[in-house]
Amino acid sequence: MKKTGRNGVNYYPHSNGGGLVAETADVSETAYIGSNAMVYDNAKVSGNAKISGYADVWGNARVSGDATVSGDAKVSGNADVRGKAKVSGNADVRGKAKVSGNAEVWGKAKSP
């Protein structure tokens, strides 16, 4: 079932988790998008990446590999989260930030 969001863009529940994915975003079938999470704009989620809780990924952001974005975390702009990296809590990763390897960003951390 599709839902129409801002700017007339359609959103669809992802087959793995049921979270909403905009028709403009690119999310692989192997990624997990939890029921309250959203991926929109031109964001890309690939591999076994997991977006859960009330997390949002948007803009031109990329989340890949086994990376996890959870809680109320936000990943936006041209940010790149990859590998086994974790972004959680109320963290806000944006701009040209890169989080990779086994790095963890959590709490109320904000990238520039």
Q: What is the pLDDT of residues 6-19, one digit of tens each?
A: 678 899 999 999 99
Query: What total of structural domains would you count in the chain?
Result: 1
pTM here is 0.93
Segment 13-32 mean pLDDT: 97
Segment 49-74 mean pLDDT: 98
Take residue 50 and report the two structure tokens written for it: 């997991």
Would 111 be classed as within a structural domain? no
CATH of the domain at 35: 2.160.10
Burial class (CB in 10 A: 0-12, 13-18, 19+), 101: exposed
Would 81 be classed as within a structural domain? yes
Please write the tens of the pLDDT for every residue from 43-52. Answer: 999 999 999 9
Counting Cα atoms < 13 Å in the Cβ hemisphere of 58 gives 13
Residue ranges making up the domain that contains 22: 3-105
Would 70 be classed as within a structural domain? yes
